[in-house]
Amino acid sequence: MEKLTFYALSAPEKLDRIGAYLSERLIRDVGRHRYGYVCIAMEALDQLLMACHCQSINLFVESFLKMVAKLLESEKPNLQILGTNSFVKFANIEEDTPSYHRSYDFFVSRFSEMCHSGHEDLEIKTKIRMSGIKGLQGVVRKTVNDELQANIWDPQHMDKIVPSLLFNLQHVEEAESRSPSPLQAPEKEKENPAELAERCLRELLGRAAFGNIKNAIKPVLVHLDNHSLWEPKVFAIRCFKIIMYSIQPQHSHLVIQQLLSHLDANSRSAATVRAGIVEVLSEAAVIAATGSVGPTVLEMFNTLLRQLRLSIDYALTGSYDGAISLGTKIIKEHEERMFQEAVIKTIGSFASTLPTYQRSEVILFIMSKVPLPSLHHPMEMGRTGENRNRLTQIMLLKSLLQVSTGFQCNNMMSALPSNFLDRLLSTSLMEDAEIRLFVLEILISFIDRHGNRHKFSTISTLSDISVLKLKVDKCSRQDTIFMKKHSQQLYRHIYLSCKEETNIQKHYEALYGLLALISIELANEEVVVDLIRLVLAVQDVAQVNEENLPVYNRCALYALGASYLNLISQLTTVPAFCQHIREVIESRKKEAPYMLPEDVFVERPRLSQNLDGVVIEFLFRQSKISEVLGGSGYNADRLCLPYIPQLTDEDRLSKRKSIGETISLQVEVESRNSPEKEEVSRVPAEEITYETLKKAIGNVAVEEQERERRRQVVEKFQKAPFEEIAAHCGARASLLQSKLNQIFEITIRPPPSPSGTITAAYGQPQSHSIPVYEMKFPDLCVY
C-alpha cells in the first residue's frame, strides 16, 4: 500500500487508471462473493483518496463513487455499511478542483432507503439505519456549500432526506425502551439513530439559506400529515422546536408563515388535527418572538381569528360544508371547543412575547373584529345568526383577555384609546352575563399595573387593609387626563352593570375589583369623590328597587357598597370617615348580616326576605360622608349631589329601552343637572304628552333625512362620471367667483371725482380719482 501510494503521488496522471483497475476488481469480487478482497480494494481506495489531492483526482473519484454505489446496491448489510463509511470519509475531504458533472441522486435515494430499513435483526437494523443517516449527512456536507454541485435543496431531494430523518426521530422511544441496562446506556446512546438523526437535521437546517427554508419545512408538514402525528402533537412540537432553534433567527418568520398556510390548508380537517397545528404554532411563535417575527404579527392573529370564526360555524352547522348530507363528516362539538381554546391560548402566549407597541396594535385589531349591535357594525339576524354573534363575541373577548393579561403600559391614554374603550364598553351593555363578565375582567387587566388584582379576588370588610400589602403609586398626570376624559363613561357602565338582574357572584367580585383598582391606580381627590357618589347611588338602587331586582342582587349591592366604602375610607385615612363606615358595618353585623359580603358572597348565601324596611342606621348616609370629607379638604358640594349617569347614543342602540323611556330619562337628567336646580325644583316636571313624543320622533326623522342626504352626496362622488363631477364643481366655483368679484368691486372701487369723469381712449368714460388730501369736504365734517 505504501508503494502504491508513493507511485500515485509520483505519477498522478496514472491515478484514474489505478481507480479503474481497483473498481473493476471490486465489482468482480463482489459478484464472486470474495468479500475479503472487496474490503482490501475499498481500503486501498480510501487511502489513495485521503493521500492524493491532485487536479486529476476527479476521474479517480468517479471510479470511487461507482464502487461505493456497487456496495450500497448489495443486499449484504456489511457491504452497505462498508460503502457508507467510505462515502463519509470522502465527504469530509475538501477537493481542490470543482466537478461539473458529478451527481448524488442515487446516493440520496439509497441512503434514504437505508434509513427506513426493516431488517429482522434489531442490531443489524440499527446499524443500517445509522449508516443511512451518516450517508445523508455526508451528502449534505459535500453539496450544501458548493454551488457547482447538484442543488440538495431541490424538493426532489428534500422530500427524501427530511422524512428519512424524521422517521428515525419518531422511533426514539422505541430505541430507548429496548436498551438492555443502565450500565450500557452510554454505549447505546452513541448507537441511537434518533440522536444521530436529530444532529443531522440540526446541521441541515443550520446551513439553510433564506430561499431554502420553504423547501426544508414543507416535507416536515407533509410527513406529519401522512403519519397522523398532529393529534398526539408531542412529536410535532419536538420537531418544530428543533427547527426553530436550528435555523437562523432572521428566518423564523418564514417558518411561522409556513405553519399559518398549512393551518389554512387544513381548515376542513378534524378539529384535533387543527388543534395540533395551533399548539405547534404557539410553541414556534414564542421561540420566534425572541428573534425576528417580521411582518407576520398581524397576519398570524388574522389567521387565528379566521380559524376561530370557522370553528364556530362548524360547531353550529355540524359540518364543514354548512349543510349535512350523505357522506358529510359529522363534527364533534367538544373537539371544536378544544380547538377554540387552543387558538385562544396561542393568541395569549404569542402576544405575551410582543413589545408594548405591537401588543397595543393586536388589541385594537382583535377588538375591531368583535361584532357589536351598532349602526356601523350590523349583526346577523335569526336564531343561528344570534348564536354565531354571541359565540364570536365570547371567543374574541376571551382572546382579548388573554392578550391583555399582564399588559404593562404607563400611559392609560395609549393603553385604552377612545375608539377601543368605546367599543369595549358598549359590549358591557349587552344582555349576556358571560360577555359582561369578560368586559369587566378585560378592564381590570388593563388598569392593574402593579399586580394588585388577586388581592381583591374576595370581597370582604377588613378592619385593616394593611395586611393586603397593596402597591400604591401617586396618580400621574397622564392618568389624571385619562380620568377627566373617560371617568364619567366608566362610572356609567359600572352603574348600569350593577343594575343587571342576571349578575352572579363573579360579576360582583369583578365590579369590586374594578372599583378598587381605579381607586388605587387612577384616583385623585375628584375621582375619589365621584366613586363614593357612584357607590352611594348603587346603594340607592338596592334600597328603592325601581328595577325589581331579586333579593340576592339587592343584598349583593348592599354588600358591594360596604366593602368598597370600607376600602376607600382606609385609603383616604380620614378618621371621621373611617369611623362612620365602621359604625354602619358594625350595626349590620349585629342586626343585618345579610347586607355584608361575609354572608352574601358564600356558597350558601344567608339572605333576608324583607328588604323594604331597611332602617337608616344600616345605610351609608351621603350627608354624613360629605360633612366629614368636606372638613378634610374634599369637595363637599360635589359630594352632596347624587350621582346620575350621563345619557349617550348607546341607549338608542340598546334593545332594552323604548323611545318613551329614553325620552323620560333625558328629561329627568336635564332637569336634575340644571344649574338653577332650586328654581327648577319648584317648577312642575315636564309632562310627557303625545305632542312631546311626536316632536321627539320628528327630530329622529330629520336626523335620518340628513344622514340619507349625506349618503347620497358620498355615493354621487364615488360612482358619478368624472365629467359630471367636474362640471358640477366648476359651476359652483364660477358662481363663487362672480360673487367675490362683486364684493371686490364694491370695496375697492375708487370714490367719484368732484370734477366728474374724463374720457379715456376708445371714447369710454373713466373715473378720475384724486388724492384724499386734495378733496374738499363740507364744512360739517370739519371740527
Strand 757-759, strand 765-767: pairing: antiparallel
**Do residues 320 and 397 share a domain?**
yes
Q: pLDDT at position 664, please?
A: 39
Give the CA radius of gyration of the chain: 42
pLDDT of residue 713: 80
Domain boundary among 652, 680, 704: 652
pLDDT of residue 714: 77
pLDDT at residue 288 is higher than 50: yes
Residue 200 · residue 144 · CB < 8 Å: no
Tell me, yes or no, whether 597 and 468 share the same domain: yes
pLDDT (0 to 100) of residue 184: 46
Beta bridge partners, 261, equal none
Give yes or no: residues 239 and 320 share one domain: yes
Do 455 and 346 belong together in one domain? no
- Give yes or no for residue 23 having a pLDDT over 90: no
φ, ψ at 758 (rounded to 5°): -120, 160
Looking up cell 496514472 gives 14
Question: 171 lies in a domain?
Answer: no
Q: Tell me: do 219 and 320 sit in the same domain.
A: yes
140 φ/ψ angles, rounded to the nearest 5 degrees: -60, -45
Q: Which of 631, 652, 673 is the last residue of a domain?
A: 652
Q: What is the mean pLDDT of residues 531-549?
A: 91
Task: Say whether both 399 and 469 belong to one domain.
Answer: no
The verdict on 400 and 458 lying in the same domain is no
Choose the most confident range, by mean pLDDT, from 299-308, 759-768, 773-782: 299-308
Lowest-pLDDT range of 322-326, 532-536, 708-712: 322-326
In a domain, 295, yes or no: yes
Higher pLDDT, 77 or 677: 77
261 pLDDT above the threshold of 90: yes
726 domain residue, yes or no: no
User: What are the grid coordinates assigned to 761, written together?
Assistant: 381712449
Q: For 767, phi and psi rounded to 5 degrees? A: -65, 135
Tens digits of residue pLDDT in 201-214: 999 999 888 888 99
- Which secondary-structure segment (H or E) carries 65? helix 57-73
Residue labelled with grid coordinates 374576595: 458
Distance CA 623, CA 640 (A): 6
Higher pLDDT among residues 139 and 646, named by residue: 139
Q: Which of 652, 679, 701 represents a domain boundary (last residue)?
A: 652
- SS3 percent helix, strand, coil of the chain, rounded to 5, is 70, 0, 30
- pLDDT above 50 for 672: no
Residue 492 sits in the same domain as residue 609 = yes
Q: Is the pLDDT of residue 104 over 80?
A: yes
Contact by Cβ (8 Å): 755, 768: yes
pLDDT at 617: 85
| 426-465 pLDDT per residue, tens | 888 888 899 999 999 999 999 998 888 898 888 999 888 8
What number is the average pLDDT over the span 542-550?
A: 88
pTM across the whole model: 0.71
Whether 141 maps to a domain, the answer reads no
Model pLDDT, residue 276? 93
Return the pLDDT at 562.
94
What is the C-alpha to C-alpha distance for residues 585 and 461, in angstroms, rounded to an integer?
A: 8
Cβ atoms 530, 643 nearer than 8 A: yes
Asked if residue 271 is part of any domain, the answer here is yes
Instruction: Looking at the structure, tell me whether residues 492 and 389 fall in a common domain.
Output: no
- Give pLDDT, residue 673: 42
pLDDT at 302 over 80: yes
What's the pLDDT at 680?
A: 36
Q: What mean pLDDT is predicted for residues 560-583?
A: 92
Do 452 and 397 lie in one domain? The reply is no
Distance CA 519, CA 360 (A): 24
Q: What is the mean pLDDT of the chain?
A: 80
Query: Which amino acid is located at 207 in the chain?
Result: R
- Grid-cell match 325589581, residue found: 548
pLDDT of residue 221: 95
Is residue 755's pLDDT more than 70?
no
Q: Are residues 256 and 397 in the same domain?
A: yes
Q: Would you say residue 746 lies in a domain?
A: no
Average pLDDT of span 34-55: 74
| pLDDT beyond 90 at 252 | no
Structural domain of 454: 446-652
Question: CA-based angle 343:344:349, to the nearest 5?
Answer: 100
Same domain assignment for residues 353 and 483: no
CA distances from 433 to 383, 401, 427, 436 (A): 18, 16, 11, 5
pLDDT(346) > 70 = yes
Place of cell 414543507: 218
C-alpha distances out from residue 160 to 65, 204, 249, Å: 20, 13, 26
Average confidence (pLDDT) over 613-630:
87
Tens-place pLDDT, residues 458-479: 899 988 888 888 888 888 888 8
* 783 in any annotated domain: no
Q: How many helices (H) and strands (E) does the chain have?
A: 35, 2
Mean pLDDT for the stretch of residues 556-562: 94
Strand partners, 629: none
| Model confidence pLDDT, tens digit, residues 494-518 | 999 999 999 999 999 999 999 999 9
Q: Which amino acid is at 674?
A: S
**305 lies in a domain?**
yes
224: closest CA among 273, 279, 283?
273
- The number of distinct structural domains making up the chain is 2
